[in-house]
Amino acid sequence: MRVERAVLREVPLELREPFDTSHGRVHVRRVLLLTLHGEALEGWGECVALSDPSYSAETTDTAWHVLTDFVLPRVVGRELGGVGTAVASGAAGADVRARGPTDALLEPVRWIRGHPMALATVEMAAWDLAARGAAVSLAQALGGERAHVPVGISVGLRSSIDELAEAVARCLEEGYARVKLKIAPGRDVEVLALIRDRFEDAMLSADANCAYTLADASRLKELDALDLQMLEQPFGHDDLVDHARLQEQLRTPICLDESIASERDAAAALELASCRVVNLKPGRVGGFVASVRIHDMLLAAKLSLWCGGMLETGIGRAHNLALASLPGFTLPGDISASRRYWQRDIVTPEHVVADGLMRVPTGPGIGVDVDAERVESLTVRVATFG
Ligand code: OSB
Ligand code: MG
């Protein structure tokens, strides 16, 4: 199938409540949505870059720049591969899955350094389009096996313990299998200890978003008493060595998020024993091909894996659900229901949680319908190619 046309839109969407982490607040999510058209079908991609360079170096605006000035003009008009053999599975399937339908499509942009989130927007939209072309679900195309995936929720920093405890109680009532709490220096051990006291049996984890250094090791070791499922990304976004040093001294498993920006980083983290768990976000590593390769590597090495989130709309959540249906994603992902962030999602049906599980869509491609009219009416800028 030829990719005949690409439409990139910026759609600012207000979160139901601001989301606070150790690196700042998000209230309006400036989402970039990409539509790839081919053979009267369309594939959707969502760029996960935040509006500021706090989580990673990319932003909504750098992604817009790279996509419109360098990527989309070179990709439109080119051939998209199929996903047929991947669905058939087996050794040949594994090979095709590892290269993906986008190998030839993205060949003219391989020289671009960095910008994985911008590139993943195209890569993932292309997988959606290719899966629709083959009339299979994205999950099937990627080699997914599960019809439902376990899901958790990420709770931002709160101004008081009571407010936080209330939020945790609500999440557990809503059925989330795991609750992740954001932490920051001065808002860590004592807060988590109080929450642990109130929710003795809950599966809890903590995410520091790079807010500590090795000098905080003794403080972080106090977390071992709290029976956390994991401690996510305590140290720098590009660190693997200090994480390995901390993991040696810590019983709580370390989970890396920001530090795993590529397949190479995942291999280095394995070699150095920097973590026991990985939070894989397809946008952060450049898309599904890299994600599936990392998945296969970590599964073989018996590391635990789960799919993270980036405050996505229902489009990005559908991509994540498809990925999380692969067998190596054994821990609950940060794949919360549409209503967690949105008054009204831009897809139907909305994503819902029941008993700690979310259904993986089975329709063609991402398996949800995009409310194109609403997207159009919310669009603040648009760029069309082809
Ligand atoms: O560190 O996992 C993170 C949101 C934005 C940027 C980074 C992170 C997060 C989350 C929320 O924790 C995940 C989600 O619910 O989408
Ligand atoms: Mg994180």
Report pLDDT digits (tens) over 239-273.
999 999 999 999 999 999 999 999 999 999 999 99
Which residue has its alpha carbon closest to ligand 1 atom 13?
A: 309
Taking the CA of residue 209 as reference, the ligand 1 atom at the shortest distance is 1
Can you give the pLDDT at residue 176?
97
For the CA atoms of 116, 120, 123, 128, the dihedral, rounded to the nearest 10 degrees, stands at 170
Which residue has the CA at smallest separation from atom 12 of ligand 1? Answer: 154
Low-confidence ranges of the chain (pLDDT < 50): 85-88, 90-92
Dist. CA 19–CA 357, nearest whole Å: 23
* Nearest ligand atom owner, CA of 310: 1
Nearest bound ligand to CA 55? 1
207 pocket-lining for ligand 1 (C-beta < 6 Å) = yes
Residue 147, CA distances (Å) to 67, 97, 316, 357 in order: 33, 19, 18, 10
Q: What pTM was estimated for this model as a whole?
A: 0.96
Residues whose CB falls within 8 Å of the CB of residue 137, separated by 6 or more in sequence, listed in order: 131, 144, 322, 360, 361, 362, 363, 364, 365, 367
Ligand 1 within 6 A of 55 CB? yes
Non-local (6+) Cβ contacts of 372 within 8 A are none
CB-ligand 1 contact for 334 (6 Å cutoff): yes
Q: Which ligand is nearest to the CA of 234?
A: 2
The residue among 113, 112, 125 whose CA lies nearest residue 8 is: 125
pLDDT given at position 85: 46
Q: What pLDDT, on a 0 to 100 scale, did the predictor assign at position 90?
A: 46
- In terms of C-beta density within 10 A (0-12 exposed, 13-18 middle, 19 or more buried), how is residue 80 classed? buried
Distance in Å, CA 350 to ligand 2 centroid = 24
For residue 26, the ligand 1 atom closest to its alpha carbon is 5
* Interval between CA 65 and ligand 2 midpoint (Å): 26
Concerning whether 281 is annotated as a catalytic residue, the answer is yes
User: To test the ligand 1 pocket, which listed residue (15, 16, 19, 254) has its Cβ within 8 A of the most ligand atoms?
Assistant: 19
Q: Which residues pair with 182 in a beta bridge?
A: 207
Whether 257 lines ligand 1, by a CB cut-off of 6 Å, is: yes
Q: Please tell me if the CB atom of residue 131 comes closer than 6 angstroms to any atom of ligand 1.
A: no
